[in-house]
């Protein structure tokens, strides 16, 4: 099958021998949303720039929409849309003018260009601000405009480089919604890079974790988390005296873990599907529970397992909630 | 008093070192006047002696030297003001104000730095001129007077820049005065004798204080020390410098009064 | 081909809009040529008393200088805009689009040419106010042509620098070279009067021939023998600097 994005041993070495990308292999299917997750400096932006024909690889090969990025760059450019980290936008032009210009760049006639502009403005919810100078737009509005500009020619593959970095939570959720809708309605393949676990978790069907220019893990978020370990169940007890009895029950389902007073924690290999049995057993033992938390390992745990470091500090991701609910 | 002097010296040294370390600040005030002087000398070499109204000079280079000195100080002066503004933007100014440093030292330090650079620049230009065949008719006394005029001008220009810096706190605003100095420079007798000008342009040049200043400077080189023009030039530049320094003091007090 | 033209036009239009909307760029580009005209003609008027001038008007003599400098500014602006676009990421957007690479240069070139037409007009009008009427239609056309050509050459120089340095910090380099090119020619006095090193340099400087042709046109003394050196100099400048600009394009994506 023809992949939307393929790479084999992709490398980029800069002056001074720095290998920003050190042998990356990729295979993204058509219509997939693929997330490239990694800390700053991991090589995400460099990889995207190579795939988007903005930078020449110093080693390896890559094909996008079936064409080689070096030999058939022009053809690749007709099939891709790019919204890069620096939101390359002219502060002195209006949103509408930028969309018109983008249409001209892609060879659309004036009438078609104007129509596309109107459609896209509506789609990213910028009709009201369309005739204001981009310099007056908020960060979220600029990203939406950037997305619209990338979609003018209805590309097969969309590259998003850190699309929500620096945005407030609401703008972030809006953008996520837009990406989901785009992928669902038009079948556009989306290749996005991010440093936020939540983003990769929420949007990507498959995630590639990159660190130091190499992919250290790849798979769907669920697969990756499962690789790392079992979910953990934490019980909050109404009557602390029942701790011992509750522990007896849980021990039947999984290994006990250290816990604070009034709580019992155990690993739960069965995950959510084992919950009904646990609840029944607790009921039979007449243990009253006031709180039940099933915590899946996070992508951060995956990252730690593969690289020995945390991906982000506790306060980094504004939409990350400390206690993830089941499923 | 002793302490204030030491503080002034220290701040002056900081100004000078700071300027020397940013070549892009120093370069324009050295490069452009010298290049222009070379171009004018090449273009107008045949003017002295041929054009009626042209004062007697050995060569055009002798004539042009004063204009180059003037131009260098005008360009360099905006640098001093801009640097002061950067200090304000960056917070160094606030730190000084909050310290026991004498208020006067803060201003005088920057002005003294500007003066030191002006002296260096003037001597350098004179040396280059002499190396290419010019001669200072006024001798050592002439050079000394030239230096005095140059330093006072430096005080005036830097002072103006500092006033702007104190009132706007923006280096960009200070650099915006550059066109003004540029205009003042060209609409004077800095580069060509006033006697050869006509019409409204001559009127403007006659009213421009810079004309009298540059003519006083030029006379030291071309004619020798003469009381008349020298005193006029001195009068003009002392007036400008006094205005600038007063302006600084007032703006300084205003800014401190407005602070929380 | 049609696509390339449309894209170039689109980029040229954008260039012009940016100048209009950025007051910090628009005003200087308007005022500088006027300033040069007035300040030069006023300060150095005495030079026209030299016998070689034969009583010609120094204002008329200075008009071509002002038109050429105005054109030079327009060209420099093209380069500075490109440097800003590279830094800001706009050029990435152009590179990723199917627009032919040459349009990156052709667009701003067209804009610089149009702006130089504007500044030349302003200078000629100012000359008119000062009492110097325009020469005949063909001669006036020659003045415009030479100015537009110079703006293209200056734009190629500046864009070539921008493509290689990728930063607006290189702006002084763009500016200094254009200034030097113009002022080490016959900016202030005719060639016969120049002395020393300047005489030698001016003889070798292509801008000299460009300015002399423009001046011949201004003084309604433009014959073929005055025009062809100017055109040849312009052609040479465009060939060399054009190559400089186009080869600069190739560095995009390598770094």
Q: What pLDDT digit, counting tens, does each position of C66-98 carry? A: 999 999 999 999 999 899 888 888 888 888 888
Pairing of strands A157-161, A189-194: parallel
Cα(A125)–Cα(A137) distance, integer angstroms: 13
**Which residues are CB-neighbours of A158 under 8 A, at least 6 positions away?**
A80, A81, A82, A83, A150, A151, A182, A188, A189, A190, A191
User: Which has more confidence, A312 or A218?
Assistant: A218
**Environment class of A86 (CB within 10 Å of its CB; exposed 0-12, middle 13-18, buried 19+):** middle
Cβ–Cβ contact C132 with B under 8 A? no
Percent of chain B with pLDDT over 90: 44
- The pLDDT value recorded for residue B258 is 67
pLDDT, residue A313, reads: 55
Q: Are residues A161 and A128 in the same domain?
A: yes
| Any A CB within 8 A of C54 CB | no
Question: Do A89 and A235 reside in the same domain of the chain?
Answer: no
Q: Do C188 and B40 make contact, defined as CB atoms within 8 angstroms?
A: yes
pLDDT of residue C255: 59
Residue A192 lies in a domain: yes
Report CB contact under 8 Å: A80, C96.
Answer: yes
The confidence band for C230, taking pLDDT boundaries of 50, 70 and 90, is very high
* Cβ–Cβ below 8 Å for C21 and A92: yes
For residue B213, how far is the Cα from the chain centroid? Answer: 10
Predicted pLDDT of residue B190? 93
CA distances (Å), origin A61, targets A5, A24, A53, B215, C45: 11, 10, 12, 72, 67
Contact state of C195 with B54 under an 8 Å Cβ cutoff: no
Sort C119 into a burial class: Cβ within 10 Å, 0-12 / 13-18 / 19+.
Answer: buried
Judged by a CB distance cut-off of 8 A, whether residue C187 touches chain B is yes
Domain encompassing residue B10: 2-258
pLDDT one-digit tens code per residue, A190-220: 999 998 888 888 899 999 999 889 998 899 9
Question: A37 and A57 share a domain?
Answer: yes
Inter-residue contact B257 to B249 (CB < 8 Å): no
Q: Name every residue whose Cβ is closer than 8 Å to that of residue B29 and which is 6 or more positions away in sequence.
A: B72, B73, B75, B76, B79, B121
3-state DSSP call for residue A86?
A: coil
Q: Give me the residue spans of the domains in chain C.
A: 2-249
pLDDT at C89: 83
Q: What 3-state DSSP class applies to C221?
A: coil
Number of B/C CB contacts below 8 angstroms equals 86
Question: B98 burial class (0-12, 13-18, 19+ CB within 10 angstroms)?
Answer: exposed
- DSSP reduced 3-state for A16: coil
A207 and A37 Cβ atoms separated by less than 8 Å: yes
Mean pLDDT, to the nearest integer, of C24-43? 86
Decide if C250 touches A, using CB distance below 8 A.
no
Total count of domains within chain B = 1
d(CA C92, CA C94): 5
Give pLDDT, residue A324. Answer: 37
Instruction: Note whether residue A318 is domain-resident.
Output: no
- pLDDT at residue number C39: 94
Q: Which chains touch A (3 or more CB pairs under 8 A)?
A: C
Instruction: Note whether A61 contacts C: Cβ–Cβ < 8 A.
Output: no
How high is the pLDDT of residue A88?
59
Q: Tell me, what's the pLDDT at A320?
A: 40
Residues A155 and A80: beta-carbon distance below 8 Å: yes
pLDDT one-digit tens code per residue, A99-142: 988 888 888 888 999 999 999 999 888 999 999 988 889 888 88
Residue C114 has pLDDT above 60, yes or no: yes
A53 contact C CB<8A: yes
Q: Is B192 at the interface with chain C, CB within 8 A?
A: yes
pLDDT of B88-138, one tens digit each? 887 778 777 777 777 788 888 889 888 998 999 999 999 999 999 888 888
Are C195 and B201 in contact (CB < 8 Å)? Answer: no
C/A Cβ contact: 3+ pairs below 8 Å? yes
Checking if the pLDDT of A62 tops 60, the result is yes
Give the total number of structural domains in chain A: 2
Q: Are residues A186 and A38 in the same domain?
A: yes
Q: How much of chain C, in percent, has pLDDT values that exceed 70? A: 98
A122 and A259 share a domain?
Answer: no
- To the question of pTM greater than 0.90 for the whole model, the response is no
For residue A74, the chain C residue with the least C-alpha distance is C98
User: What is the pLDDT confidence band of residue A312, given thresholds at 50, 70 and 90?
Assistant: low
The 10s digit of each residue's pLDDT in A240-257 is 888 888 888 888 888 888
Lowest mean pLDDT among A299-303, B70-74, C136-140: A299-303
Confidence check: pLDDT of C155 > 90: yes
- Report C:12-71 residues touching B (Cβ under 8 A): 35, 38-39, 42-47, 49-51
b/e burial code for range B45-66 (CB count within 10 A of at least 16 → b)? bbbbeebeebeebebbbbbbbb
Q: Are B81 and B161 in contact (CB under 8 A)?
A: yes
Q: Is A118 on the interface with C (CB under 8 A)?
A: no
Instruction: List residues bridging with B29 in a β-sheet.
Output: none
B39 has a chain C CB within 8 A of its CB = yes
**CB proximity list for A317: less than 8 A, separation 6 or greater:** A196, A197, A198
What is residue B138's predicted lDDT score, i.e. its pLDDT?
85
Of A258 and B216, the one with more pLDDT: B216
Boundary-marking domain end, from A225, A253, A269: A225
A106 to chain C, any CB pair closer than 8 A? The answer is yes
Which CATH number belongs to the domain containing residue A68 in this structure?
3.40.50.300
Q: Would the CB atoms of A104 and C6 count as touching at under 8 Å?
A: yes
Reported as a pLDDT band with limits 50, 70 and 90, residue C159 is very high
Residue A197 shares a structural domain with residue A235:
no
Q: A325: pLDDT confidence band, cut at 50, 70 and 90?
A: very low
The structure tokens listed for B246 are 């007063």
Mean pLDDT is lowest, of B39-43, C86-90, C197-201, for: C86-90
The yes-or-no verdict on residue B234 having pLDDT over 50 is yes
- Substitution target in B32, B36, B44 with the highest count of C β-carbons within 10 Å is B44
Residues of chain A with Cβ-Cβ distance to C88 below 8 Å are 86, 88-90
Of C35, C39, C194, nearest to B43 by CB-CB distance is: C194
The residue of chain B with its CA nearest to that of C38 is B201
pLDDT band at A87 (very low <50, low <70, confident <90, very high): low
Domain CATH code at residue A236: 3.30.70.980
Least confident span in A89-93, A112-116, A122-126, B143-147: A89-93
Domain identity same for A249 and A218: no
Residue B212 has a pLDDT of 92
CA-based nearest distance A55→chain C, Å: 4
Angle value at C-alpha C119, between C117 and C124, nearest 5 degrees: 95
Decide if B33 touches C, using CB distance below 8 A: no
Expressed as residue numbers, the domain containing A201 is 5-225
Q: Do A87 and C89 touch (CB under 8 A)?
A: yes
With CB atoms and an 8 Å threshold, state whether A104 touches C92.
no
């Amino acid at each position: 099958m023809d992949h939307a994005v393929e790479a084999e041993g992709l490398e980029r070495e800069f002056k001074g021998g720095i290998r920003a990308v050190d042998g990356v292999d990729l295979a993204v299917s058509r219509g997939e949303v693929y997330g490239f997750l990694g800390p700053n400096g991991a090589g995400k932006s460099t990889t995207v720039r190579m795939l988007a024909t903005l930078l020449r690889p110093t080693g390896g090969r890559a094909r996008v929409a079936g064409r080689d990025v070096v030999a058939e760059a022009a053809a690749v450019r007709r099939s891709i849309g790019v919204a890069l980290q620096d939101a390359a936008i002219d502060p002195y032009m209006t949103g509408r003018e930028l969309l018109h210009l983008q249409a001209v760049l892609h060879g659309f006639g004036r009438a078609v260009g104007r129509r596309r502009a109107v459609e896209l403005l509506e789609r990213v919810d910028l009709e009201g601000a369309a005739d204001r100078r981009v310099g007056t737009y908020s960060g979220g509005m600029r990203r939406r405009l950037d997305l619209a500009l990338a979609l003018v020619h209805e590309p097969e593959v969309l590259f998003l480089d850190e699309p929500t970095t620096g945005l407030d939570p609401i703008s972030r959720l809006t953008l996520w919604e837009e990406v989901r809708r785009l992928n669902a309605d038009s079948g556009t393949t989306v290749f996005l890079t991010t440093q936020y676990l939540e983003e990769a978790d929420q949007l990507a069907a498959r995630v590639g974790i990159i660190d130091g220019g190499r992919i250290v893990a790849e798979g769907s978020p669920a697969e990756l988390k499962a690789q790392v370990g079992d979910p953990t169940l934490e019980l909050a007890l109404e009557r602390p005296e029942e701790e011992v009895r509750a522990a007896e029950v849980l021990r039947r389902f999984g290994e006990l873990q250290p816990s604070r007073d009034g709580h019992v924690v155990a690993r739960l290999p069965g995950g959510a599907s084992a919950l009904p049995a646990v609840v029944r057993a607790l009921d039979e033992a007449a243990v009253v529970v006031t709180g039940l938390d099933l915590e899946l390992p996070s992508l951060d745990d995956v990252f730690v397992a593969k690289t020995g470091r945390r991906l982000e500090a506790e306060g980094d991701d504004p939409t990350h909630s400390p206690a993830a609910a089941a499923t | 008093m002793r302490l204030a002097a030491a503080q002034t010296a220290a701040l002056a040294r900081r100004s000078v070192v700071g300027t020397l370390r940013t070549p892009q600040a120093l370069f324009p005030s050295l490069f452009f006047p010298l290049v222009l002087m070379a171009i004018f000398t090449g273009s107008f070499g045949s003017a002295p002696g041929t054009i009626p109204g042209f004062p007697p000079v050995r060569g055009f280079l002798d004539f042009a030297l004063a204009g180059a000195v003037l131009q260098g100080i005008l360009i360099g002066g905006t640098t001093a003001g801009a640097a002061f503004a950067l200090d304000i933007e960056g917070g160094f100014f606030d730190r000084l104000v909050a310290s026991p440093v004498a208020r006067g030292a803060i201003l005088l330090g920057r002005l003294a730095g500007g003066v030191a650079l002006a002296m260096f620049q003037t001597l350098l230009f004179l040396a280059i001129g002499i190396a290419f065949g010019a001669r200072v008719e006024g001798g050592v006394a002439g050079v000394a007077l030239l230096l005095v005029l140059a330093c006072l001008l430096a005080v005036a220009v830097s002072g103006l820049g500092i006033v702007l810096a104190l009132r706007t706190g923006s280096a960009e605003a200070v650099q915006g005065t550059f066109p003004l100095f540029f205009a003042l420079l060209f609409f004077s007798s800095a580069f060509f004798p006033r006697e050869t000008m006509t019409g409204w342009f001559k009127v403007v040049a006659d009213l421009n204080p810079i004309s009298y200043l540059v003519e006083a400077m030029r006379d030291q080189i071309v004619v020798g020390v003469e009381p008349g023009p020298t005193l006029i030039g001195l009068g003009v530049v002392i007036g400008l410098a006094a205005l600038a320094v007063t302006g600084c003091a007032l703006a300084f007090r205003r800014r401190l009064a407005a602070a929380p | 081909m049609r696509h390339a033209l449309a894209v170039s036009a689109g980029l040229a239009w954008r260039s012009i809009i940016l100048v209009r909307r950025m007051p910090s760029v628009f005003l200087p580009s308007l005022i500088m040529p006027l300033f040069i005209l007035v300040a030069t003609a006023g300060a150095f008027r005495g030079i026209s008393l030299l016998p070689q001038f034969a009583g010609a008007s120094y204002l008329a003599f200075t008009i071509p200088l002002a038109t050429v400098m105005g054109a030079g500014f327009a060209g420099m602006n093209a380069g500075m805009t490109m440097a800003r676009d590279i830094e800001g990421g706009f050029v990435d957007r152009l590179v990723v689009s199917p627009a032919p690479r040459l349009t990156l240069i052709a667009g701003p070139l067209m804009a610089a040419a149009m702006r130089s037409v504007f500044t030349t007009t302003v200078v000629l009008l100012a000359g008119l106010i000062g009492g110097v009427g325009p020469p005949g239609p063909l001669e006036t056309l020659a003045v415009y042509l030479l100015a537009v050509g110079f703006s293209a050459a200056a734009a190629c120089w500046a864009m070539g620098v921008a493509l290689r340095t990728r930063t607006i910090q290189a702006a002084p380099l763009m500016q200094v070279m254009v200034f030097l090119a113009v002022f080490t020619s016959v900016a202030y006095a005719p060639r016969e009067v120049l002395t020393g090193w300047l005489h030698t340099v001016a003889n070798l400087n292509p801008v000299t021939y460009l300015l002399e042709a423009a001046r011949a046109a201004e003084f309604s003394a433009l014959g073929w023998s005055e025009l062809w050196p100017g055109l040849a100099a312009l052609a040479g400048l465009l060939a060399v600097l054009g190559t400089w600009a186009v080869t600069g394009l190739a560095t995009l994506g390598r770094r």
